[in-house]
Chain A
């Protein structure tokens, strides 16, 4: 996964990367594994600047699936940090760039929430619910957004 140029670029743009190896760093693996409940490899976490986990990937993913999951991690970290403009932009980019991925419907939901949190304008939620009638209508995220119609 990590040799793909797109993955390298995305990691460099959005993250400070840290690797903890199960065999080469057993003490650190236990300390951080216990803290974050990591019981399998690979487990890949997006952790915000306060040390809180914001997104989790467990198990190998092909690059086409890994990239949008990485992007979700960056977007959720921005959201948790209160940077709703950046979060909305990152979530929108997932919808646009990875529309066929599992991450797209989740991103569409959180893009709407980010806009609402940033502006206080509830029409952002209503518009998000409308969009779900057109894109990703058969997803769990569409069901969650349906309350905003």
Chain B
């Protein structure tokens, strides 16, 4: 049986994420990263 692994779909526009958070009632998770993208 095949297995699937989910991944986080990262946005890269903080201001758009903030607007999305206001609509959805969620918080923004802002990750300052140096990890490979």
Contact = CB atoms under 8 A, between A and B. Distances in A.
A44 B27 contact: no
B33 A8 contact: no
A43 B25 CA distance: 23
Contact of B26 (A3, A14, A23, A45): A14
B22 A11 contact: no
B30 A45 contact: yes
A120 interface: no
Given A2-B8, A24-B37, A16 B31 contact: no
A interface residue count range (under 10 / 10 to 19 / 20 to 34 / 35 or more): 35 or more
A15 B30 CA distance: 9
Contacts of A70: 29
B11 to A, nearest CB: 5
Given A5-B6, A47-B18, A49-B27, A20 B34 contact: no
Q: Which of B7, B18, B26 has the most CB of A within 10 A?
A: B26
B19 to A, nearest CB: 9
A78 B14 CA distance: 19
A46 B18 CA distance: 11
Given A18-B17, A29-B32, A44-B32, A77 B27 contact: yes
